[in-house]
C-alpha cells in the first residue's frame, strides 16, 4: 500500500492512469501493471509492474493461466488455468487484494474467457489441446455472490457454477460476446469454423466455414466428423508458416464489431481477417494483415480494429470501416499474443510471450500516434490481458 501511495503522489495532476493485468502461462503469475500516471524523461508515460500475484493450487505443479477478464464493475477478475487433474479451472479473484473468491472445474484446457456485460455469467472456451482432436465446448459459468458464514463484515465469496457446457468443434478459441450480450462467438482452429451461440437459449445458433474459396454460413451446430479437420499444426500454436497456396484459415480469434453487425475472425494461416456479415451470415470481405494474425480487439467507438501478428512481431491497426491497415507497429520481442483496448479507446495493451529464457512483455501502443510508447517486463509466456474498468 505504501508503494501505491508513493506512486499516486508522484503522478502529475490530471494524468490518466490505466491498470492492466497480464497472465503469464509459464510462471503461474498475474502481473499488475500501472501505466500513464508516472512520467519518464521527456514526459514519456511509464509502464511498471506494481505487483505479481500467484495463480494455482500447487506451486510445484504448473497450472498455466491462459485467459483473463474483468467483471464489468472492475471489482474482481477471472483467470482460466489450463492444467489440472485432469481438467482446468476458472478462478475469481478480488481485484484490489488478489484474494481468491472462487473456483470451478471446467473442461480440458480452458482458454479464452469473457464476462457478460451484465456480470452474471462468464463464457470460457475449452481448448482441449490434449489427445485426439474431437469436438470440444464452451462453458457457461454463473457468477453468484454469496456471503460466507463467519466472514468479516462486508466480505463475500463468489459461488461459481457451470450451468452449461455447449458442444462446438475442435480447439475453440477467442471467446467474445456482443456489446448487448445476446450472442457469443468463438472460432475452432482445427475445423476452420466460426460458431455463434445464442446466449438466451445457451445453444449454437449458426456456424460459418472460413476456408478460403469455400466460405459458407450454415444454420445450427456444426456436424464435425471425427478426424475430419482442417489440419492446423498444433505444435506451433500459431507460429507455423503456411504452405504455398494453403487456403486453410486456422482461426484463432472471433471479435464482434462494436455495433454487432459484423464478426471479425483472425485467420492465422493465411494472415487475413475474415469479416462476416451477421444479418446475412455471409462473407463480407477478407482483409490482408500482418503475418500470423492471432488475437483481435475493437475500439468501443467502432472505428479501429487491432490485431496481434504472432509470427510477424508486430501489431496491425486497421480502419474497421474500410479495412485499410493504418499502421503496423513493431514489438520489442517475438511471439505477439493478446491485446486489450483501454476504456477510452486511447491505448492498445499488447502481451508478448518472448522466446527461450526471455521474459514476457506488456507493450503499450498509442492508437492516436500509432506508435509504441511504453513496455514492461512480466512473466514468461505472457498471454491473457485485460484493462481494469474505471468505476
Quote the CA–CA distance of 377 and 381 in Å, as a whole number: 11
Residue written as grid cell 500475484: 53
Mean pLDDT of 146-165: 64
* Confidence (pTM): 0.90
On whether the CB atoms of residues 330 and 312 are closer than 8 A, the answer is no
Q: What is residue 6's predicted lDDT score, i.e. its pLDDT?
A: 38
CA distances (Å), origin 136, targets 53, 111, 131, 187, 189: 30, 12, 12, 11, 11
227 has a pLDDT exceeding 60: no
Peptide bond preceding 136 in cis form (omega within 30 of 0): no
2 has a pLDDT exceeding 60: no
Grid cell of 326 as nine digits: 493504418
148 has a pLDDT exceeding 60: no
Q: What is residue 347's predicted lDDT score, i.e. its pLDDT?
A: 97
Q: What is residue 225's predicted lDDT score, i.e. its pLDDT?
A: 56
Mean pLDDT of 308-333: 97
92 has a pLDDT exceeding 60: yes
For domain 17-147+157-224+240-387, the question of CATH label 2.130.10.10 is answered with yes
Greatest mean pLDDT range, 7-16, 35-44, 291-300: 291-300
The pLDDT confidence band at residue 154, using thresholds 50, 70 and 90, is very low
Q: Comparing 229 with 107, which gets the higher pLDDT?
A: 107
Q: What is residue 371's predicted lDDT score, i.e. its pLDDT?
A: 97
Q: What is residue 243's predicted lDDT score, i.e. its pLDDT?
A: 74
CA distances (Å), origin 54, targets 31, 81, 100: 9, 12, 10
pLDDT digits (tens, 9 = 90+) for 18-56: 999 999 999 999 999 999 877 777 778 899 999 999 998
CA distances (Å), origin 73, targets 93, 147, 176: 13, 18, 18
Quote the CA–CA distance of 126 and 195 in Å, as a whole number: 14
What does the radius of gyration of the chain's CA atoms come to, in whole angstroms?
Answer: 20
pLDDT digits (tens, 9 = 90+) for 244-257: 777 999 999 999 99
pLDDT digits (tens, 9 = 90+) for 341-381: 999 999 999 999 999 999 999 999 999 999 999 999 999 99
Q: What is residue 289's predicted lDDT score, i.e. its pLDDT?
A: 97
Cα 225 versus chain centre, distance: 28
Q: What is residue 229's predicted lDDT score, i.e. its pLDDT?
A: 52
Q: What is residue 159's predicted lDDT score, i.e. its pLDDT?
A: 85
Quote the CA–CA distance of 341 and 358 in Å, as a whole number: 25
Low-confidence winner among 80-89, 95-104, 180-189 (lowest mean pLDDT): 80-89
CB contact set of 237 (below 8 Å; sequence gap of 6+): none
Report residue 150: phi and psi, to 5°. 85, 0
Q: What is residue 134's predicted lDDT score, i.e. its pLDDT?
A: 85
pLDDT digits (tens, 9 = 90+) for 325-342: 999 999 999 999 999 999
Give the angle subtended at the CA of 374 by the CAs of 50 and 173, to the nearest 5°. Answer: 80
Amino acid at each position: 500500500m505504501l508503494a501505491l501511495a508513493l506512486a499516486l503522489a508522484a503522478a502529475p495532476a490530471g494524468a490518466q492512469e490505466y491498470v492492466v493485468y497480464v497472465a503469464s502461462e509459464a510462471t503461474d503469475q498475474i502481473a499488475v501493471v500501472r501505466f500513464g500516471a508516472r512520467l519518464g524523461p521527456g514526459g514519456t508515460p511509464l509502464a511498471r509492474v506494481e505487483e505479481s500475484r500467484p495463480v494455482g493450487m500447487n506451486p510445484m505443479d504448473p497450472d498455466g493461466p491462459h485467459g483473463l477478464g474483468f467483471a464489468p464493475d472492475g471489482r474482481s477478475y477471472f483467470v482460466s488455468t489450463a492444467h489440472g487433474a485432469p481438467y482446468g479451472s476458472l478462478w475469481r479473484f478480488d481485484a484490489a487484494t488478489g484474494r481468491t473468491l472462487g473456483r470451478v472445474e471446467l473442461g480440458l484446457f480452458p482458454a479464452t474467457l469473457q464476462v457478460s456485460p451484465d456480470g452474471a455469467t462468464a463464457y470460457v472456451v475449452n481448448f482441449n489441446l490434449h489427445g485426439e482432436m474431437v469436438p470440444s465446448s464452451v462453458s457457461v459459468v454463473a457468477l453468484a455472490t454469496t456471503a460466507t458464514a463467519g466472514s468479516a463484515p462486508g466480505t463475500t465469496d463468489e459461488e461459481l457454477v457451470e450451468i452449461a457446457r455447449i458442444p462446438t468443434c475442435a480447439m475453440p478459441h477467442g471467446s467474445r460476446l456482443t456489446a448487448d450480450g445476446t450472442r457469443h462467438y468463438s472460432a475452432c482452429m482445427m475445423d476452420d469454423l466460426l460458431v455463434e451461440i445464442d446466449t438466451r437459449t445457451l445453444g449454437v445458433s449458426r456456424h460459418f466455414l472460413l476456408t478460403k474459396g469455400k466460405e459458407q454460413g450454415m444454420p445450427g451446430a456444426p456436424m464435425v466428423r471425427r478426424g475430419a479437420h482442417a489440419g492446423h499444426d498444433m505444435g506451433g500454436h500459431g507460429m507455423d508458416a503456411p504452405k504455398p497456396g494453403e487456403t486453410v484459415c486456422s482461426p484463432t480469434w472471433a471479435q464482434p464489431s462494436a455495433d454487432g453487425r459484423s464478426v471479425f475472425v483472425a485467420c492465422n494461416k493465411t494472415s487475413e481477417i475474415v469479416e462476416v456479415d451477421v444479418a446475412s451470415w455471409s462473407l463480407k470481405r477478407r482483409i490482408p494483415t500482418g503475418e500470423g494474425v492471432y488475437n483481435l480487439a475493437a475500439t468501443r467507438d467502432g472505428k479501429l480494429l487491432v490485431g496481434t501478428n504472432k509470427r510477424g512481431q508486430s501489431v496491425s491497426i486497421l480502419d474497421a470501416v474500410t479495412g485499410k491497415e493504418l499502421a503496423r507497429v513493431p514489438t520489442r520481442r517475438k511471439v505477439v499474443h493478446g491485446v486489450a483496448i483501454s476504456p477510452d479507446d486511447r491505448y492498445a495493451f499488447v502481451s508478448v510471450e518472448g522466446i527461450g529464457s526471455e521474459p514476457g512483455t506488456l507493450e503499450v501502443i498509442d492508437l492516436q500516434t500509432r506508435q509504441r510508447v511504453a513496455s514492461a517486463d512480466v512473466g514468461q509466456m505472457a498471454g491473457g490481458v485485460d484493462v481494469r474498468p474505471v468505476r
